[in-house]
Each structure stands twice: as C-alpha cells, then as structure tokens.
A and B are shown apart, each in its own frame.
Chain A
C-alpha cells in the first residue's frame, strides 16, 4: 500500500490489516461491493479497511452476559427523554407555550408559499428492467387471446377457440420466469404468494397470474382429453381472469409516486387493455392463419377488425393521456421512451397502411400488419415502463404535482378515505391457517435460497481449488492469477 501521502497520517500507525479469522471470510456481498468500488477508486492511496473487525465480518464485541438487560437502558426510554436542550429551565429551546393554531397556520403558509427553488432528489426512480415490460406485453397478449377464445366460442367457431386457448397458455408460460428474473432475490419468488393482499396490485396480479395460468392450462387439458364443454367453461373463466391480467399492470404503475404514471391513473389501465386486446388478436390470428384457417373466414376478418380498432383506441387514449399529463408528459417524449413511442406509432401506421394495401392486393399484407401490431404493443409497454425513470428524476414535475394534489380539499369522497396502512388481516381465514401458510412459504423460500447459495459456493470453492492446484503444479506463487504456459 502506498503510504507516501502525509495527509493520511493516522493510517501510518494503523498496523497491518487484521488477519481474517478462519470462518470469517467476507460474504460474497462484501466481495462484490469491494470489487465495485475498487473499479471506481484508487485503492493504492485509499485504505478501505473497516475501523472495527474484519472486512464483511461482524464487529468484535460481545455481550458480557448473554441475555442480560442492556446497561444503559432505562425504563420507558428514559435515556432518550433526557435532554439539556429541551428542558425549558436550562435553555430557551422550547420555552414558549404550544399553540396548535399557530403551528397549523405556519405549516400551511410555508407549504403553500411560492416555490422559488426546487432541489431534488425527491423520489427514487423505479428499478425494474425491460423484463417487466416484456412481461406486461406477454401477459396482455395472453389475456387478449383469452378474449378471442371466448368470442370464438360465442360465435360458434370452436376449432379456433381451442387454438386461441393454446395460444394464451403458450404466451403466458414464460411470464413467471421473466418476473422471477427481475426480482432482487429470485430464489424467494414464492413469497409473492405468501399472503393475499387486495391493496397491493402486485400481489393481486401475482395471484391473478397463477389463476389465469391454472385455468388456461386446465382448459387446454380439457380440449386435449375431449371435454369441449368443460374447456369452454374454463376458457370463459380464463377470459374473466384475463380482464384483470391485461389491465392490472396499468394499475400497478399508477399506484406509485412517479408523476407520469400516477398522473395517468385512469389512462394506463384502459391503454394497456387496448394493446393487450390488439396483440392477443394479432398473435391468435397469425397462429390461426398458420394452422390453415381458410381465406375469407369470418374469424380472420373479426380478428383483423379487433386488432385495428384496439390499436386505434390505444393511440387515442395515449394522446388523451398525454394531453392531461401536462408537463409530466415530458418523460414520455424524452430520450428512450420517446423513441419507443414514436416507433410504436409508426408501426401502427404501417400496420394500418398494410391493411389498406391488402384490400387491393388480397395478399399477405394482413399477416405483416399483425406482426407490426405485435411489435408496436411491445414498444408501447417499453415506452410506458421506461418513462418512469426520467419522470421520477424530473424534480420540477414531482414538486409541481405534489402541490396540485394538495389543493383545497373540500372533504374526501368515501372511496378516497385513507387508513392506517397497518398489518391488517389479509385473508378471510382463521389466524392460525394464515400464519402457518405464510410461515411455510417464508421458510420454503429461505430453504431454496440457502440451497442455491450453498451450491454456488461449492462451485466457487471447487473452482478456486482447481486454480490453486494449477498454480502449484506450475510453480507460480500465490496471488499470480495468470499462469504462463510454456510452448
């Protein structure tokens, strides 16, 4: 370590780094972090050893008497209540008489004062990756296909309905993998169904995904074993779940503090449903055409109409939403989201012109149009999801939206009532069952996680052992990662 810098004086006397005790290797997290900083910082001149203990290890202190009460603790948080500052006799810190009206008036005046200077950051940007947007697209497509299967059944085209049911299941099947991969701790994905919490759109969405997949798969199964009536019933149920699966994603985004999302709370759901219907119809149409549905079949025509109508609906809803957003719509026109939006709109126009062209030629342009709509649907989802980050970082808009929200509130309407968000009984079930179930899920998740991390640690140790053996054989000293091979 380079100790030439005089200003690092105290480090001169710090002694050598404490040797890591056996069994006190820093956890992988700590290693990853250090590797991250080392890439940012010059470690030659910068000592990043902790002041106490070993890297990534616990501090070296132990309780003198395990289980004994803490020496400084006083009953009823007595140590916290003592203060030289707010004892009125010692200082004039809080000597005046409290006046509730004065405080309320001061709060109102300052919170409504004209904004001269807005300093961020206000809120954190969402952390979701493109996998979430892709899931939104697939989930929407699946629910659209479920609508189509219901409609085909209603119109008497049972063959197409069965195919649409298969499309729905096939499209929704990669969805869980995408959602799990986006989690910070993918091993704990089961925790999503640890409770039932109607208040959290992500929780209800996870349950809806489970229900949709289950009933969709059952419907396909019934088709396969020749139970068409049961399949139709289950298909209708799947479509009912689909009406939430395709729309809850918009609710999920709307229930955040991100201005561009919460500002379009009544827009997002309908817009997402529209793309869901369009992409579902497009995907089913392509599969039906490939499976040999004859030209001029009413199902082909109906699907084409649905695609175009739904896409036009989405365009007009989006335009309406953008108008209503005002300044917050900046995020939708920014770098990446703007590009996605413009591309999506061009693809929709392309689809429309292909449809018009196909009227004359009667060729394959219809299929190309369906592909364009599918791509447009994906880009729409990417545009909405990726607009979250620039919007959360747009401090002026976040501040302005908070001001608008707090305008004069002439009494809240019943559905706007707020409640202490405490742990409320989420299941209409006895407490014992609820707890046992939740605890079982939690433990299973932790067991999976431990198992997987043990496996990855074994692999790493084995790898390191092999590297060590290789070094020993070549006579290279430890610490030299690169072994030169002669010849």
Chain B
C-alpha cells in the first residue's frame, strides 16, 4: 500500500509513426476578461500547489505575478497608464455631465481639471500567458538529460521522472516560462495537458475559459481563425490588433513559430514579451563554441610556447632571475 499521494510521474515516449498533427493554443486577448478561471483550472487539473498568493505587490492588481514551476497559466494584467481614446472620451463626457460615470474614483466635474483627471485614468488589458511550445524551443535544446521532449502533438513536455533539476532550461527560455520549483527541485511548465490530449479532451484552461479567449485545436486551423479575427478587428478600426507568434514571414518568426500564440493589441513589450526571440542555444552555440574551443587550443599552444621560450633562455645562461 502506498504511504502517501501516488507518484504523479509520467514517462512519455513518442510513438514512431503516430499521428503528428500540431496542436496548440490561440489566446485572444481582445476577448479576455481577466477572470483567471484558466489559472484555477490549470492548478486543479494538474494538481499544482498554490504559490502562497501575495496581495499588495504594489504595482498591479495581479497577485500571481509570473509563470512559475507551479503556475502554468498566468493571466497577466497590463494596467495601461494611458487611457484608450474611447475611454478618455467617455470619461470626459462623464466628467462634464457631472455624473462621475462608471468611474467611481473620479470626483464630480469642476473639482479637478478634466484633462489632468483623464490623464490619470487606467485601462486594463489582460493576457493569459502560457508556455509557447516553440518550434525552436530553447528549453528543449538546453536540457542535458532529455527530460524535455517533443511529443506526437508537437508540444514540448517535461518528463518529471527524468528531470534532475539542473536549472539550465530556466535561463534558456526566452519567454520566461519554465522555472525550477524551490521545494520540489524539478522544473515545471505547461504540458498542453498531455494527459487530457491522450484521452481526446481539450486542455483544462481552454475548457474553462468562459469567453473562448483561449482556443485549442490543430495549429493550422487556429492560425486561420486568428487571421480572420485580426482582419475582423482591423475592419472595425482596431488597427493595433496583431498576432504574436503566428502569421509572420519566414524570416521574422518568433522561435520558428509558436505552438501557443496570441492576439495582442499593444506593442509586445507592454505584456513583457520580447519583440523578437529564438532558441538561445541555437542562436549562440556555434559561435560561442568556436570562440571557446579556439581559445582553449590557443591557450594550450601558448602554454607550450611559454615553456619553450623559458627553456631556451635558461640554456642561454640568463638564469631564472628572481624565479
């Protein structure tokens, strides 16, 4: 009889010749309401512990803060400093009417300067962040044990029974997704609900999303829906809508194309996303190794040379000086 909770360890072996359809997420921030249902569903399904939520981070209403080894979905709150033109207009109207509108923090008109007041308004954008399941995955390239693998769904999964917690995947991820759990000792990240996929179910976060901001499906179908959505938003005058991680030209792809991509309406840096990214290992390993090994061989040769010079001088009768 087992003494405690069963060991939730999985070993995945890619089935040779099995189905190889790429599955992914399309996270549309334009319909996200920031309810964090995906975070909760992810925690519950994957049996992830709480992180000891800390209120009062001081800068945000978001109390999760970041993706981590025990947080595989994270709704990032982007509290914009500049109000959107629409909100500014609404607020100005509300202020002038003296009603205060739906913005409770604003006192009646006349008490404050309208322009000043609207300038301080905030607008919120939410983005449900998750592992990108990159084509050129930095974590997968870095992993020395082979714990990180690509599955038959073209997702990147960490085999918890192989990971020895070396921590190399943590700085090798250009998106700050994977992390090492300080208590458990192993790295952890989204598996795109590998276990649910095996049973034909969609991932827990996508299932729980009340506005379908998180959509799951075959990657190519998702890209088509996302492209339609961008076109639709553009036709409605939201020119800032674009895709992060899909629909790029071959030279501009993020990490070779992301399995889980996003529709955004603000520049990527506002969401804590790099404007360009690729697997750091693939970017750097060749030049770095060439420089390093060349230097190593040079140093070896230099050492031999120094000895040869010293030996010749020694024979020349000049002695060792103070040595």
Contact = CB atoms under 8 A, between A and B. Distances in A.
B295 A399 contact: no
Contacts of A185: 163-165, 185-186
Interface in B110-157: 134-138, 140-147, 149-150
A246 B50 CA distance: 41
A25 B6 CA distance: 11
Interface stretch (A7-15, A169-177, A255-263, A329-337): A255-263
B171 A301 contact: no
B247 A103 contact: yes
A126 interface: yes
Contacts of B274: 122, 398-399, 402
Contact of A97 (B173, B228, B268): B228
Interface string A61-95: 00000000110111111011101111010001111
B194 interface: no
A128 B172 CA distance: 13
B2 interface: yes
A118 B269 contact: yes
Given A199-B141, A239-B300, A112 B275 contact: yes
B161 A446 contact: yes
B89 interface: no
Interface string A252-295: 10111110011001111110111011000100000000000001
Given A36-B52, A150-B304, A409-B251, A126 B284 contact: no
Closest 3 CB pairs of A and B: A184-B165, A269-B292, A406-B276
Interface residues of B, number: 148
A126 B275 contact: no
Contact of A183 (B164, B170, B322): B164
Contacts of B166: 182-184, 192, 202
Contacts of A111: 242, 244, 252, 267-268, 275-276
21 contacts: A27-B5, A33-B183, A37-B50, A77-B200, A80-B202, A107-B252, A113-B267, A117-B270, A154-B304, A185-B185, A189-B164, A199-B282, A252-B168, A257-B280, A258-B171, A269-B291, A269-B296, A274-B299, A362-B321, A403-B276, A421-B140
Contact of B170 (A23, A56, A126, A194): A126
A29 B183 contact: yes
Given A113-B267, A256-B171, A58 B225 contact: no
Report which residue of A109, A143, A270, A363 has the largest number of chain B beta carbons within 10 angstroms of its beta carbon: A270
A158 interface: no
A191 B147 contact: yes
Interface stretch (B90-98, B99-107, B305-313): B305-313
Contacts of B313: 298, 301
Interface of B: 1-6, 11, 14, 23, 31, 47, 49-50, 52, 54, 65-66, 78, 80-81, 134-138, 140-147, 149-150, 161-168, 170-181, 183-187, 197, 199-202, 206-207, 211-212, 215-218, 221, 224-232, 234-235, 239-244, 247-249, 251-252, 256, 264, 266-289, 291-300, 302-304, 306-311, 313-314, 319-323
Interface residues of A, number: 174
A78 to B, nearest CB: 8
B300 A79 contact: no
Contacts of B275: 111-112, 115, 399, 402-403, 406
A85 B212 contact: yes
Contacts of B234: 96, 102, 106
Nearest to B292: A269
Nearest to A398: B274
A227 interface: no
Interface stretch (A214-222, A412-420, A466-474): A412-420
A206 B146 CA distance: 13
Contacts of B171: 123-126, 256-258, 261, 388, 392
Contact of A298 (B2, B172, B296, B320): B320
Interface string A157-199: 1000000000000000000000000111110110110110101
Interface in A364-412: 366, 388, 392, 395, 398-399, 402-403, 405-406, 409, 411-412
